[in-house]
Amino acid sequence: MEMNPKIHTWSQYASLAEGMLKGDDGEFSGLIRVDSRKIEEGDLFVALSGKNMDGHDFILDAFSRGAHCALVSSSWGEKIRDLPEGIRVIEVADPEQGLIKIARHRLKGLKNVIAVTGSVGKTSTREMIFLALGGSSSGVYRARSSHNTRIGCALTVAEMPEDTSVLILEMGTNHPGEISEMVDLYPVDTAVITEIAPAHLEGLGSLEGVLDAKLEILESPNLRKVIFNGDNPMLSSAVKERSFGKNWQALSVGSSGSYVLEDIRLEWQERPVLSMIIGEKQGRSSYGIKAKLTGIHNASLLGIAWATAVELGISPEEASIRLSSIKPYHGRGVLKDRGGILVLDESYNANPKSMEALLDLVAQSPFPREKRLLILGEMGELGEGSLSLHEEILKKALPLGTVFLFGSMWISLKPPVKVYEDIESLSSDLKSLLSKGYFIAIKGSRTNGLERLMEIFS
C-alpha cells in the first residue's frame, strides 16, 4: 500500500494551494477546520464565504482559540496590510478552491480510497470499515465527522496523516450532480453503497432520483470495486446493469450474492446483541459476528464492512473479530443506562427507512408497552409526500408505547398525542413521567436538535 505525499510546513501548504504565505513558516501539527468555534491549538482555519456569513469575519476569533494559520482570500489580505503580531495567513484567490487544490494533491499516489454512500448508515458503515481494516495504527484514516460534502471530503483528504495508506470518505447528496462532482475531484477505488430509501426527496424528487444520485459514485475514473446492499432489488438491478462492459467488479452483500448473510438475530440480554453468519457465496467457510448494536438493520452494514475489509486483504477471521467489538457512533443507536432508565439516542438524523428500523427495535424490546416512551421528531427534506410518510410512521408508532411528537410537521396530521415545538416544554413533561424501568427511544432529523434531550438524562 502506497502512502500519500509528505507535507509538513505552512509554506508547503501555501504552495499546494497556489497561494502566498504571510508570516513565519512553521510545522503544521493540527487539523483543518472551517468553524472557528471548534478551533484547537495548532489548527488551520479556512475562511469560507457562504450565503449567510463570511469566515473572514471570524479569523481573529480563530487565532484567539489557538489557530496557527488561516487560509484567506487575497482580497482580505489586501485590506489588512499589517498583520497583528503572531498571525500567519496563506493568501489565495479563493479559500474553497485553495483547500480543494491541497486535497487533490494529497490524493496523488494513494491507491486505496474508499467512499461510502447510501440513504442510511453511511457514517456507521464508515466506522465499521475503519475498525475492520485495523484503524489508525494500520494507516487507515477516515472523516472525523459527517464530512460528506465537497468541502467535507476536501477537509478529510487535506488533513490525513502522511502515513495514511487507506482513506475512507463519506459522500452524501441532496441534489443531482453532487456525488458526480465529488468523485471527479476525489476519485475513489472502492465504492460502498449501503441502501436506497426515501431521503432528500425535496431535491431528488423520487426514489428513482435517489438511486440515480447515489449511483453517480460509479463515475469515478479509478473505480475497481463496488460493494453494495444486495437485498435491495432496485439497487442490485441497477448496479449489475451498469457494470456491463466496465472495468470494475460488482460485489453484493445480502441473503444471496457475492457475500451471504445468514442466521441474523437480535437478542435482548441486558442490552441488545446482534449476531450473524457471513461467508463468500462460493466459499466453504463462514464466520460469525456478534456485536452490541441496536437494530437488526445493522446486519447489512456489518456485512458490507466485513466484505470491504476482506476485499482489501484483511483475513475473514480478523475482520470478524474486529467487527464484533464495534460500538454505536454518536447519535446513531447509542444506548445509555441513566439511573435505571434505558435511553436510546438515535437523534442524529431520520428518514422513513431509519425510523422504521427504530420502531422495529422498540417492538422487539422486552419492555412492556406502558414502560416505552418514543420521542419522534420530524423527517426532513421529504418533498410532496412528506405528510403521508409521517402519517405511516405515526400509525406504526402509536401501538408500541407512549409517543411524544416534536416539530410542526406533525400538527397537520392532528395526532391523538401532544405535539411539541420547543425543547423546554418537552423536557419538562418528560421529567414528570420518568422513573426506573423505562425504555426511551429518541429519533428525529438534525434540524430538530433532539440530542439536547440527553442532558435531562445525565
For the annotated binding site for ATP, the residues are 118-124
Q: Alpha helix (H) ranges present in 291-438?
A: 298-311, 316-323, 352-364, 386-397, 423-433
Could you give the CA distance from residue 13 to residue 22 in angstroms, rounded to a whole number?
Answer: 12
CA-based max dimension of the chain = 70
**Computed over its alpha carbons, how large is the radius of gyration of the chain?**
23
Q: Percent helix, strand and coil across the chain, each rounded to 5?
A: 40, 20, 40
Strand partners, 252: 228
**Crossing angle of helices 298-311/122-132, nearest 10°?**
40
What residues are designated binding site?
A: 118-124
SS3 219: helix
SS3 331: coil
Q: Provide CB contacts within 8 A for 447, sequence distance 6+.
A: 378, 380
Report residue 317 as a C-alpha cell. Answer: 477471521
Query: What is the distance, to the nearest Å, from the Cα of residue 239 to the centroid of all Cα atoms in its chain?
Result: 22
Q: Provide CB contacts within 8 A for 329, sequence distance 6+.
A: 123, 124, 127
SS3 59: helix
DSSP per-residue codes, 340-360:
TEEEEEETT---HHHHHHHHH
Please give the span between the terminal C-alpha atoms of the chain, in angstroms, as a whole number: 45
Which contiguous run of DSSP H or E holds residue 185?
helix 178-185
Q: Do residues 133 and 127 lie in contact, with contact meaning Cβ atoms separated by under 8 Å?
A: no
DSSP 8-state symbol, 42: T
CA distances from 205 to 7, 26, 150, 178 (A): 43, 49, 21, 15
Q: Which of 274, 288, 275, 232 is nearest to 255 (CA)?
A: 232
Q: Which of 426, 429, 435 is nearest to 453 (CA)?
A: 426
Q: Do residues 251 and 241 lie in contact, with contact meaning Cβ atoms separated by under 8 Å?
A: no
